[in-house]
Amino acid sequence: MKLLSDDIDLNFLCSQYQQMQFHMFRSDDHLSFISCIVCLCDKSEDIVEHWQTIQNIVYVHNQPSKELVAWNVYLVFVTTGRIPTWQKYEIENNKFVARKIVLDSFLELPSIEQLGIELEKQLLGSDLKLNELVNEIVDLELPLKEYFRGA
């Protein structure tokens, strides 16, 4: 599964927050659908100040619409600044409207391609490597039969 950039109209957010950029990503798998609205902002203070209003606008705008599936919706805030730990905790643990992720302390705002790669790491675990299974048969002796009658 991959997350792909989607050209959904996000002018309802862009018009109210001109200092921020908004992008939509969606999974290419229809069985496990993920939709993700990304908010890019240079100043971390803007995210701390506006994240609740942004989530409310997303909720109101998309409630009657079926463009976003109600489950597996993410709202990701990306900034070059650093968001204080408590505010980051508060944002990420608020599950109203969508699950939230804060990605801060970037040297510069990522491009759409870089954003797609980072979101796949965060949401899909694309950077995780599985260890190969060892094909070793282990004989287990369970001494429980000594404690039960009829075993």
Rounded CA gap, 13 and 21, in Å?
9
> Rounded mean pLDDT of the chain?
82
Question: Is residue 29 pLDDT above 80, yes or no?
Answer: no
Residue 90 falls inside a structural domain: yes
Rounded CA gap, 101 and 74, in Å?
7
Percentage of residues of the chain with pLDDT beyond 90: 40
3-state class (DSSP) for residue 8: coil
Question: Is residue 19 pLDDT above 70, yes or no?
Answer: yes
Q: Which residue has the higher pLDDT, 130 or 37?
A: 37
Residue 141 falls inside a structural domain: no
Residue 148 falls inside a structural domain: no
> 95: domain range?
3-127
| Per-residue pLDDT at 123 | 81
| Per-residue pLDDT at 89 | 97
| Per-residue pLDDT at 11 | 81
Rounded CA gap, 112 and 67, in Å?
21
Residue 142 falls inside a structural domain: no
Question: Is residue 70 pLDDT above 60, yes or no?
Answer: no
Average pLDDT over residues 27-36: 76
Residue 143 falls inside a structural domain: no
Residue 133 falls inside a structural domain: no
Residue 58 falls inside a structural domain: yes
Give the range among 50-64, 75-89, 115-129 with minimum mean pLDDT.
Answer: 115-129
Residue 26 falls inside a structural domain: yes
Average pLDDT over residues 10-36: 83
Non-local (6+) Cβ contacts of 122 within 8 A are: 76, 101, 103
Q: Give pTM, 2 decimals.
A: 0.77
| Sheet (strand 20-27) strand order | 3-6, 20-27, 35-41, 73-79, 99-103
Question: Which amino acid does the sequence have at 48?
Answer: V
- How many independent structural domains does the chain possess? 1
CB atoms within 10 A of CB 33: 15
Average pLDDT over residues 92-118: 91
Contact assessment for residue 66 and residue 92, using Cβ atoms and an 8 Å cutoff: no
Q: What are phi and psi of 118, to 5 degrees?
A: -65, -40
Query: What pairs with residue 69 in β-bridges?
Result: none
Burial profile 6-21: b = 16 or more Cβ within 10 angstroms, e = fewer: eebebeebeeebeebb
Q: Which residue has the higher pLDDT, 63 or 58?
A: 58
Average pLDDT over residues 107-130: 83
